[in-house]
Amino acid sequence: MDAAAARASSGVRGVFTGEDWKVLIGLYLGDKPPLARGRVLYHGEPVVAVVADDEASALRALRLVEVEYRPLPAIATPREALAPGAPILHPELGSYRRIPAILPEPGSNVANRTKIRKGDADRAMAAAEVRIRGEFSFPPGDHCAMEPRSAQAEILADGRVLVTSSTQSPFGVRNLLALGFGIPQGMIIVTAPAVGGGFGGKAGIQLEPLAYLLSRALGGRPVRLANTRENDMLGSPGRPGMEARVSLGAKRDGTLLAADIEFLFDSGGYADYAVNVSRAAGYACTGPYRIPNVKSDSLCVYTNHPFATAFRGFGHIEMAFCIERAMDILAAELGMDPVELRLKNAVLPGDTTPSGSRLDASTGDLPRCIRTVAARLGWESAPRGEARGDEVRAKGISCFWKAPAIPTFTDAGAIVSFNEDGSLNVLTGVVELGQGALSGLAQIAAGALGIDLAKIHVAGDVSTDRSPHDWTTAASRSLFMAGRALLAAIDDAKAQLRRIASQPLRCPEEDLEVSGGRVFVRDDPEISLALEELVLGYVYPGGNAIGGPVIGRGSYIARGLSDLDPETGSGRPGLEWTLGAEGVEVELEKSTGRFRVLRSACCMDVGRVVNPALARGQAVGAMAMGIGFATRESFAFGPGQNVVNGSLRDYKLMRFGEEPEYFVDFLETPQGDGPMGARGLGEQGILGMPGAIAQALSRAAGAPIRNLPITPETLWRSMRAGSGGPR
C-alpha cells in the first residue's frame, strides 16, 4: 500500500492502516482488527482510513492511496470451508477473547458449534416408516437499512470518551470499548440518537472502535466515520448465508418422530453476531413442530464473504426456510396436504422445544394461526392452484416460531419523573429505530397511569450516562422488557404519590388510587388531589411543603433462562415464543418463469396487541422484507468471491408497486409475564415468507425449490430440468 500521496494531500490530518494498531475487537468473539492487517478476508474490507478537515479532503486523499492485492485462494461456501485442506482463515482462533456461550473450534473455520441432542434421533430415524432428506442453501445479503451507519468519537481533556453512533446497542458499544481499550466504563459515554432502521445490522460493533482509535491518534479531536451506501453494504456487516441438510422421520400418518439437522451459517470473514445467530437456529432448529428425537449441529463458519451479523429473525428465518421446505418434501412423500401435516405436528402447551424447554400455558395457539391463514387464502377451494394458459396460480403455507436469542441476564430499566403540570417523562435505554417502541412505551405508561397519551413524554436519545441500562434494542424484546420495567417504575411512582397524598387527604395510603390525573380515596373519589398538586411535593395552604419530586424507578431481568449444555443443548434459552403461520398466493408465467406474489397472509399469536397500527405495520414491513429475502435480496459473487451487486443499482429491494395484498391477523393468548399480556412481534412477520413462497412456486412450477433467491431464471431452469414433482 502506498499512501504517500494521500498523506501529502491538502487538509489531511492522518492516514492509517491496520498496522497502526495491534488490537482485535469483536462482539462475542474478538476476531476483527479495526482495519485489515496484511490480508483482507472479504471484498469490501476496509484497509485504510484517511482523516481530514472535511469530507471532500478525505475523499480526495482516499482516491490517491494505491493498494496492490495479491489474490489468495478464496473460500466460497461453508462446505468448502470445512473441507480438508481448506485455508484456515483465523489461525489464532484459539486465542481470541470470547464469551462462554460461544464454542469455536480452533484449527478449523468453525467459529461456533451449537449441538442439540434430544431423545435418540438415530434410533428413531432408523425405525421411522417414512424418511426424507433435503439440502438447502442461500447466499449472504445485506440489511439495506435506510440510514447507512455512522459513528463519531471524541476524547475530552479529562479523558472522557464521547461516542455518538447509529447503534442499536449503546451499552454494548460502551462495554466493548471499555474491554477492548481498557477504559473505565464511566469514562465512556455512548449516545444513540434515533436510528434510521437497523434490522439487526446495527446491533453489533464496527465503526465505533475505529472512530475511537482515529480520535485517539489525533489528540482526541472529534472524528466522524459515515458510511457511503456502498461501504455500508460491503464494508460493514450484512446477514449470513446458509447451507443446510435436513432429514425428517415420520409415521405413515404424518406424525413426526425424528429430525437430523445440520445448519452451516456462512459468516464471512468475521463472526460478529453470526455466532449467536447459529446458536439461536440451533435451539429453535425444528421449527414449531413436536419432534421427540432431535440431533442437530448448527455451525457458524468463516468464509471469504462479507461478514455477517444479526438480521431480522436472527437464525429463525434461515432455519424456517429449511425446515418448511423439508416439511413440504415430507408432505409430498406422504401424499398429505401441507396444511394437514402442519396441523398434525404443531406444538401445543406441554410440548418441549429442541433444548428440552417445556412450552407453558403462555404458548400461542399455532393450530388456529394455521387455520386462519388457510382461510384467508381460500386454501380449501384450490389447494394445488389453477392453470390459465401460460399462467398458473398456486398457494403456499408455512409456520414459524421465534424466541429472542438473548443472554440469560438480559435486562431493561425505566425511570419516570413528572413535570409541574402533572405530565410524565419516561427514560429507558430503548433506541428508536422506526419500530415504534417509543410510541408503544408511551401507550403502556398512559394506560398504567390512566392519563392522556399527550401527557407522556418518552425521551428519544439514549445516553449511557443518564439512561437506565438496557441490554440492546434487538430480539423483539423492547416492548416486553422495557415495558415491564416501565410498569414497575410507574407502580413505584404511584406508591410515592399515595404516600405524599395520604397526609393532606388524611387517609391511609392503601385506601388511595392513582388514575385519571388524580389521587383519590377509593370509596369516596370526591376526596382527591390533582397530580400537579403532588408530583413535585405537596404545599399546604400557608406554605409548609412535604414530599419533593416523585421519581419512579423500575427494572426487569429475564426470568428463568439458562445456558445450553455444550454437549446436548439442553437448557432454557428462550424467554417467550411467538408462534404464527404465513401463506401466499403466487402467479407464475410458465414460459418465462416470471412471477408475482398476489396475496399474502400472516397470523401470529402476540399475546396482546398494544398498538394495532404499529403491530400491523411491523408485520407488513416484515412480510415485504421476507418477499425480498426470498426473491432478490442477496449478494452474487464473481469467481474470486468478489461481490458483483454491491450497490443499489444492482442489489434490488422490494418496491411499492410490487406489494401483494396483505392480510394480517393477531391472536391474543396472553403472555403471563408480558406487559399487559403482550409478547414480541417486531421480527416475526419475515420468518415464514420464504418457505411459503418457495412452496407456492414449487407447486406452480412443478419443480422443487431448494435454494434462494428464487428468480424467474432459476424457476425457468428448474421447470426445464422438470424433476420430481411439486415438493
In the 8-state DSSP scheme, what is residue 455? G
Q: Is 622 helix (H, G, I), strand (E, B) or coil?
A: helix
* Least Å from the CB of residue 643 to other proteins: 10
- Distance, CA of 541 to CA of 397 (rounded, Å): 69
- Strand-pair partners of 529: 519
**Backbone torsion region of residue 571, taken as left when φ is above 0, otherwise alpha when ψ lies between -120 and 50, otherwise beta:** left
Which of 57, 419 has the CB closer to other proteins? 57
Q: Cell 482485535 maps to which residue?
A: 24
The least CB distance from residue 386 to other proteins, in Å, is 22
Closest CB 652 distance from other proteins, rounded Å: 5
- The smaller minimum CB distance to other proteins, of residues 56 and 545, is found at 56
The rounded radius of gyration (Å) of the Cα atoms in the chain is 27
Which residues of the shown chain bind other proteins in the complex (CB under 8 A)? 55-60, 63, 228, 230, 591-592, 594, 631-632, 636, 644-645, 647, 650, 652, 654-655, 657-658, 709, 711-713, 716-717
Closer to other proteins by Cβ: residue 3 or 373: 3
Nearer to other proteins, 70 or 649 (CB): 649
Cβ neighbours, 10 Å, residue 533? 17
Q: Are 593 and 716 in contact (CB under 8 A)?
A: yes
Kindly state the cell numbers that stand for 57. Answer: 479532503
In the complex, least distance from residue 466 CB atom to other proteins, rounded to whole angstroms? 34
Cβ–Cβ < 8 Å for 308, 273: yes
In 453-508, which ranges are E strands?
456-458, 462-463
In the complex, minimum distance from the CB of residue 49 to other proteins, in angstroms, rounded to a whole number: 16
**Which of 348, 648 has the CB closer to other proteins?**
648
CB of 632 to other proteins, least distance (A): 5
| Coil/strand/helix, residue 508 | coil
**Shortest Cβ distance from residue 60 to other proteins (Å)?**
5
CB burial string 619-631: b at 16+ within 10 A, e below? bbbbbbbbbbbbb
Centre a 10 Å sphere on the Cβ of residue 170 and count the other Cβ atoms it contains.
28
Closest CB to other proteins among 637 and 666?
Answer: 637
Residue 66 C-beta: closest distance to other proteins, Å: 14
Distance CA 446, CA 515 (A): 10
Least separation in angstroms between residue 213's CB and other proteins is 23
Q: Which is nearer to other proteins, 22 or 655 (CB)?
A: 655
Neighbour tally for 425: CB within 10 Å: 15
> Backbone phi, then psi, for 212, in 5-degree steps?
-65, -45
Cα dihedral 195, 196, 199, 203 in deg (nearest 10): -30
> What is the rounded distance in angstroms from the CA atom of residue 715 to the CA atom of residue 701?
7
Residue with cell 426470568: 559
Least distance (Å) from other proteins to the CB of residue 639?
12
What region, left, alpha or beta, does residue 513 occupy, with left being phi > 0 and alpha being psi -120 to 50 degrees?
Answer: beta
Q: Would you put residue 230 in left (φ > 0), alpha (ψ -120 to 50) or beta?
A: alpha
Maximum CA extent, the chain:
92
Indicate the residue among 299 and 708 with the shorter CB distance to other proteins: 708
Give the shortest CB-651-to-other proteins separation in angstroms.
Answer: 10
In which residue are the cell numbers 436469542 written?
A: 405
Give 85 or 657: the residue with its C-beta nearer to other proteins: 657
Q: How far is the C-alpha of 175 from the C-alpha of 169, rounded, in Å?
A: 10
Smallest gap from residue 65 Cβ to other proteins (A) = 12
Type of residue found at 648: L
CA distances from 575 to 360, 403, 666, 671 (A): 11, 6, 20, 11
Q: How far is the CB of 634 from other proteins (least distance, A)?
A: 11
Smallest separation, CB 283 to other proteins (Å): 34
Which three-class secondary structure state does DSSP give residue 689?
helix
- As measured in angstroms, the least distance from the Cβ of 592 to other proteins is 6
- The dihedral built from the CA positions of residue 480, 484, 489 and 490, taken in this order, carries a sign that is positive
Q: Return the number of the residue (150 or 167) whose C-beta is nearest other proteins.
A: 150
Residue closer to other proteins by CB (options 60, 115) is 60
Q: Which is nearer to other proteins, 185 or 647 (CB)?
A: 647
**205/715 with CB nearer other proteins:** 715
Q: Which residues pair with 428 in a beta bridge?
A: 414
Distance CA(634)–CA(532), nearest Å, equals 55
> For residues 337 and 658, which CB has a smaller minimum distance to other proteins in the complex?
658
Of 417, 716, 398, 663, which Cα lies nearest the Cα of 553? 417
CA–chain centroid gap for 604, Å, is 17
As measured in angstroms, the least distance from the Cβ of 192 to other proteins is 25
Our CB check for other proteins shows the closer of 351 and 658 to be: 658
Distance in angstroms (rounded) separating the CA atoms of residues 464 and 460: 13
Is residue 701 within 8 A of residue 712, CB to CB? The reply is no
Nearer to other proteins, 228 or 568 (CB): 228
Q: What amino acid occupies position 696?
A: A
> Which of residues 39 and 717 has its CB atom nearest to other proteins in the complex?
717
Residues 454, 39: Cα–Cα separation, whole Å: 55
Q: Is 236 exposed, middle or buried (0-12, 13-18, 19+ CB in 10 A)?
A: buried
Rounded to a whole number of angstroms, the minimum distance from the CB of residue 305 to other proteins is 16
Q: Look up residue 430 and give its DSSP letter.
A: P
Q: How far is the CB of 74 from other proteins (least distance, A)?
A: 17
The number of angstroms, rounded, from the C-alpha of 680 to the middle of its chain's C-alpha atoms is 11
Task: Collect all residues with Cβ–Cβ distance below 8 Å to 3 and sequence separation of at least 6.
Answer: 15, 17, 48, 64, 65, 66
Closest CB to other proteins among residues 58, 347: 58
